[in-house]
Each structure stands twice: as C-alpha cells, then as structure tokens.
C-alpha cells in the first residue's frame, strides 16, 4: 500500500536534518509492506521566498491529502519583524489541520546521562510526556493589538478546547503510570481557573488515573529538581512551549527531542521541538536525532510499524553509545556522518 508523506523541510537546519531523516526512513522501510512516497513542499521562510506565502495554498492542499506530515523547522533572522513571517505559516498550518494536541516525550536515555548538565542521580530514569495544547490560548486569542505605545494579546480557552486536550492527556496516561499533572496559573489567570475546573471534571471520566495540579512557575522548577516525579503533564499552549524547551536541559540538548501533533482530521504532523537553529545552520553540524526520532514516531503512531521504529531508535542510541556525537553533545561528528553511522546500524 502506498502512503503519501508530505515533507516540509523549512528553514535553517530544517533541510539538513530532514534529508538525514528521509535517508534513514528510506533504508529502514525498504522491506516494509508499505511504500512511502515523499512529496516536498515549500513552507515557512522558504514559502515566503518562493511563493510569497509562509503556507502556500498548494502546500496546505498537499498536507490536507497527506497520510502524514514531516516538518523540519521554520524561521530565522531573515524574516524576523517582516509583515509575513514563517511562524505565521506554522500557526496557520496547525490551525487548518486542527492539530490541537502536541505530544512532547521527554526521556534521558542511558547514553546521555553523562552529557546532561544536571547530576546523573537526578536525571536517571527521566521519562515523562508534555501534552501541549496547540491551537488556542494566547497564540490565537482575539483581540490582539500591537501599537506604538501599547500592545496586548488575549489568552482565550473554552470548555471544549480544554476537555479534548485533557482527555488526550488521560488517554496517554492510561498507557503509562496513570498520573496526570495539569499545569496552570490558576492563582492569577481566568483562563487557568476555567482550565483547572474542567480538568477536574474530565478526571471523573478516568477513575483509574490520578489528577494533580501545579502552578507553572513551581512546575518549571520541579521539572529540573525532580524530573522522575512526572508522568504526563498537560498544559496550555504557551506554558507547554516554554516547559518543553526547559525540559530539553535534562537530556542535555534540544537536538534529540521529537514531537507529534494530532488533531480532529486524523492527519498527524511530526516535528522536532526545536527551531531552525540559525546559529549553526548551513554547517552540517546539527544533531539530526530529533528529526529521525520524529520520523520513527510517525512510523509507530501513523502506520503501526513498531518494529521498524524500534530498529531506528536502537540504531540512533547505539551510534551515540559508540561515542559518535554531534557538537551539541560535545562531539565532532557532522550531521551527514552521523546519519551514515545510523544507517550502517540499521542495515
Ligand atoms: P532553536 O530551537 O532554533 O535553537 C536554540 C538552541 O538550540 C540554539 O543554540 C541551537 O543551535 C540549538 N539547537 C536546536 N536544535 C538543534 C539541533 N538539532 N542540533 C544542535 N543544536 C540545536 O531556537 P531559537 O534560536 O530561539 O529560534 C530560531 C528560529 O526557529 C526562530 O525563528 C524561531 O521562531 C524558530 N522556531 C521554529 C520552531 C519550529 O519550526 N517548530 C520551533 C522553535 C523555534
Ligand atoms: C515550537 C515553536 C513555535 C511555537 C513557534 C516557532 C511559533 O517555538 O514549535 O515550539 O511557539 O509553537
Ligand atoms: Mn517552542
């Protein structure tokens, strides 16, 4: 059976790590019963440069008829402050595909224990998931205004938006340690007060799981202090954005963290949690693991190819265990050389 994968390489290191990940996918899925056809489209800054639109119509149409989407990263100083920005394209794509649930798994594999800036005794065994609401909150709320002397945004949530993301978190928790932590700022924000109330109501539908609450400032501290205490964290759009980058300190780099976004249409999008890393773009030194693991998440979640996903993950970790590391982890291996080492371990 044929599957259409829409590939949005994007900007900065996006194309570099995307080509790694596609190379790995092609080798790993060679003998699979599924045939993957990769279709590349302009997106983000590349969309602005080629089609004057960060989300060109044909890119959106391709995504809407895809079996799954792989996204590298978008953005960069070239487009910062312009009327059209790459980030607008990313938000518009998430909204158009109704990708309300962004799943960001945070683990510290054995091989990275001594690479973490946090003590090994603290990070060992870290394994939690951030379930980030992705299509509402302050990113999308109206009204918003940017003037010369004042500016504002609106953090809007309604009951249905909160219910569906909290349900998603509980469903994930049922396959794990059954502990959901809802992170909010209910001591101050109206949107968080509603969030907490609705989370309590949803918890009644999942009597096999526990629900606790924590304020975001305290959660930010505890994620670093006691990362093993967490199982599933559910939170609103902006808090999830910030907490997930913070959590990347545990494995020691953003370069190993994948994510998956799910929505109402059944089309899922897989992307690293990091950005286009303009500071290292074009040098063939980016860590491609975040993108390769995003692709393996795709094989697992969208196509049920668990054995191949396992094989890719084992190959990535074995490569790192052999001391073959990119510069973000203190090594000297290039993106392309790392990729070949992963491929060698898959064959
Ligand atoms: P960033 O995530 O791009 O980079 C933060 C730091 O992490 C940098 O030092 C970078 O070199 C490093 N890093 C990130 N990924 C890496 C990898 N795979 N290997 C090695 N090092 C890696 O964040 P930023 O610099 O704040 O943002 C740059 C641009 O990316 C901005 O335009 C921003 O809007 C955009 N962005 C896009 C996405 C996305 O496409 N989903 C996500 C975040 C930021
Ligand atoms: C992310 C990014 C995006 C976000 C930006 C680029 C719009 O930081 O995917 O985490 O804030 O969601
Ligand atoms: Mn982010």
Give the fold, CATH level 3, of 127-249: Rossmann fold (3.40.50)
* 278 assigned binding-site residue: yes
> Would you kindly state where each structural domain of the chain is located, as residue ranges?
1-104+254-347, 127-249
> Is 241 assigned a catalytic role?
yes
As a residue count, the chain comes to: 347
The closest-lying atom of ligand 1 relative to the alpha carbon of residue 279 is 11
Q: What is the CA radius of gyration of the chain?
A: 20
State yes or no: is 217 an active-site residue.
yes
Which of 46, 75, 284, 292 should be mutated for ligand 1, with most atoms under 8 A from CB? 75
Q: Whose CA is nearest to atom 36 of ligand 1?
A: 275
- C-alpha atoms less than 13 angstroms from C-alpha of 93 in its C-beta half-sphere: 37
How is residue 315 written in tokens?
């190959």
- For residue 113, what is the DSSP state? G
* pLDDT one digit per residue (tens) for the chain, 347 residues: 999 999 999 999 999 999 999 999 999 999 999 999 999 999 999 999 999 999 999 999 999 999 999 999 999 999 999 999 999 999 999 999 999 999 999 999 999 999 999 999 999 999 999 999 999 999 999 999 999 999 999 999 999 999 999 999 999 999 999 999 999 999 999 999 999 999 999 999 999 999 999 999 999 999 999 999 999 999 999 999 999 999 999 999 999 999 999 998 999 999 999 999 999 999 999 999 999 999 999 999 999 999 999 999 999 999 999 999 999 999 999 999 999 999 999 98
217: helix, strand or coil = helix
SS3 20: helix
- Tell me whether residue 280 is annotated as binding: yes
42 is catalytic: no
**CB of residue 135 inside a 6 A radius of ligand 1:** no
Would you say the CB of residue 276 lies under 6 angstroms from ligand 1? yes
In testing the pocket of ligand 1, which one of 79, 99, 254, 330 has its CB within 8 Å of the most ligand atoms? Answer: 254
Report CA torsion sign: 95, 96, 98, 99. negative
| b/e map 12-49, b = 16+ CB within 10 Å | bbbbbbbbbbbbbbebbbeebeeebeeebbbbbbbbbe
Q: Which CATH number fits domain 1-104+254-347: 3.40.50.2300, 3.10.20.30, 3.40.718.10, 3.40.30.110?
A: 3.40.718.10
For 59-91, write each residue's pLDDT tens digit: 999 999 999 999 999 999 999 999 999 999 999
How far apart are the C-alpha atoms of 339 and 51, rounded to whole Å? 31
Tell me the residue ranges of DSSP E strands in 147-285: 151-154, 179-184, 210-215, 232-235, 258-262, 269-272
Pick the ligand that lies closest to the CA of residue 248.
Answer: 1
14 lines ligand 2 (CB under 6 A): no
3-state secondary structure of 283: coil
Query: Which of 4, 3, 13, 1 has the alpha carbon at shortest distance from 46?
Result: 13
Q: What is the DSSP letter of 135?
A: S
Does ligand 2 have an atom closer than 6 angstroms to the CB of 211? Answer: no
Residue 137, ligand 2, Cβ within 6 A: no
- The answer to whether 306 is annotated as binding is no
Output the CA–CA distances (angstroms, integers) from residue 284 to 14, 16, 135, 336, in the order listed: 11, 7, 33, 7
């Amino acid at each position: 059976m044929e599957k259409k994968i829409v590939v949005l390489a994007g900007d900065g290191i996006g194309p570099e790590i995307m080509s790694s990940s596609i190379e790995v996918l092609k080798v790993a899925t060679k003998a699979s019963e599924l045939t993957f056809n990769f279709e590349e489209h302009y997106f983000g800054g590349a969309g602005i440069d080629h089609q004057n639109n960060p989300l060109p119509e044909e890119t959106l149409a391709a995504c809407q008829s895809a079996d799954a989407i792989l996204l590298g990263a978008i953005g960069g100083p070239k487009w910062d402050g312009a009327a059209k920005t790459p980030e607008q394209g990313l938000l518009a794509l998430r909204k158009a595909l109704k990708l309300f649930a962004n799943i960001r798994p945070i683990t510290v594999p054995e091989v990275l224990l001594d690479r973490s800036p946090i003590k090994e005794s603290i990070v060992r065994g870290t394994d939690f998931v951030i379930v980030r609401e992705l299509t509402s909150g302050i990113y999308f709320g109206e009204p918003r205004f940017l003037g010369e002397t004042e500016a504002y945004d609106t953090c809007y949530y309604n009951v249905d938006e909160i219910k569906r993301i909290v349900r998603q978190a509980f469903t994930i928790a049922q396959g794990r340690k059954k502990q959901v932590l809802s992170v909010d700022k209910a001591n101050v924000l109206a949107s968080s007060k509603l969030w907490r109330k609705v989370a309590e109501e949803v918890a009644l539908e999942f009597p096999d799981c526990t629900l606790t609450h924590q304020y975001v400032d305290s959660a930010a501290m505890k994620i670093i202090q006691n990362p093993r205490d967490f199982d599933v964290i559910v939170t609103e759009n902006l808090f999830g954005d910030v907490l997930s980058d913070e959590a990347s300190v545990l494995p020691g780099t953003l370069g190993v963290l994948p994510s998956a976004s799910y929505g109402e249409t059944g089309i899922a999008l897989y992307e690293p949690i990091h950005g286009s890393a303009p500071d290292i773009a074009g040098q063939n030194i980016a860590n491609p693991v975040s993108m390769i693991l995003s692709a393996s998440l795709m094989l697992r979640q969208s196509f049920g190819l668990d054995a191949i996903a396992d094989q890719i993950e084992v190959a990535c970790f074995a490569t790192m265990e052999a001391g073959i590391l990119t510069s973000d982890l203190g090594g000297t291996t290039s993106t392309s050389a790392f990729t070949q080492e992963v491929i060698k371990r898959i064959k």
